[in-house]
Amino acid sequence: MKLLKVLIVDDDEEQIEMLEELLKCNHPDVKVVAKAENIDDAYAAILAFRPDLVFLDVEMPNGNGIDFARRLREDRISVKIVIISGKAEYALDAIKVSVFDYILKPYKPKDISRILAKVKAENLLVSLNRERAILFSLFFEKISIESDALTTYFIKADEILYYKVVDLRHIELHVFWQDEPIIVPETVTTLRKKIPILIFYQITRRVFINLKYLSKISQKNHKCTLNYNGKLFTLNGSENQLAYLKRRILEKSKKRVSFD
């Protein structure tokens, strides 16, 4: 469960503690990551903790909550702001700076619950739209490659395990859904214009592997192994290229690759 990160900004310590306790007791999926009693500390906390939601008092000792919200918008810092005030007169100004919501003191637990439900609903919609956009792009981001005058393949870069230069005008594409390589009339230069360069790495003068499937590097015998759903492909590589690739992986320390 992903926690919703909250920052509470109020010059009244008692108000901060009350809201923090309310969130702690009633909303286990919410975490108060920071508290601030003035505008300067609030700005620093937003940069440091990147909260999803800020509960912000209007009347502060070194600034106004509305002006602070406007400053965040001008600085293009994306965070949902809920203004908390004992006066309704600030509501119009709050709307002008696009705050997420506005509640009056003394507020009730149901007011906070409503806001949190609204935040989660909006976050879910954003997440669904993002996933939909990714699926849409994946569906259409196929490259068209003609192997001859009568045959065109539509391939995603992600489906290419590795490719090998045959000669100056032809390349072998090894895709996981076909046992035999696809010979295409492409050069490395023209192919690189069609596929994301960063996901492929050159292990010899002629062979380029998809780093997504790399599972093992053996500098001892100058080989590397690709793994696609348990099916292994072992390829010869240049000693220098493999050594450099190993250093890159160790520096990033994200990809699970074995070495020997």
Q: What is the pLDDT along the chain (260 residues), one digit of tens a residue?
A: 578 999 999 999 999 999 999 999 999 999 999 999 999 999 999 999 999 999 999 988 788 889 999 999 888 888 999 999 888 888 888 888 889 999 998 899 999 999 999 998 888 887 776 666 555 555 556 777 777 667 788 888 888 999 999 988 899 999 988 888 999 888 888 888 877 767 889 999 999 999 889 999 988 889 999 999 888 999 999 999 998 888 888 776 555 666 66
Amino acid residing at 169: R
Asked whether the beta carbons of 257 and 215 are under 8 A apart, the reply is: yes
Within 10 A of 13 (CB to CB), how many other CB atoms are there? Answer: 10
| Of residues 195, 132, 123, the one with CA closest to residue 163 | 195
- Taken in order 225, 228, 230, 231, the sign of the CA dihedral is negative
Structural domain boundaries in the chain: 4-137, 143-259
| Of residues 121, 131, 74, 130, the one with CA closest to residue 100 | 121
Residues 78, 72: Cα–Cα separation, whole Å: 8
What's the fold here for domain 4-137? Answer: Rossmann fold (3.40.50)
Within 10 A of 54 (CB to CB), how many other CB atoms are there? Answer: 26
At the fourth CATH level, which superfamily is domain 143-259? LytTr DNA-binding domain (2.40.50.1020)
Model pTM? 0.53
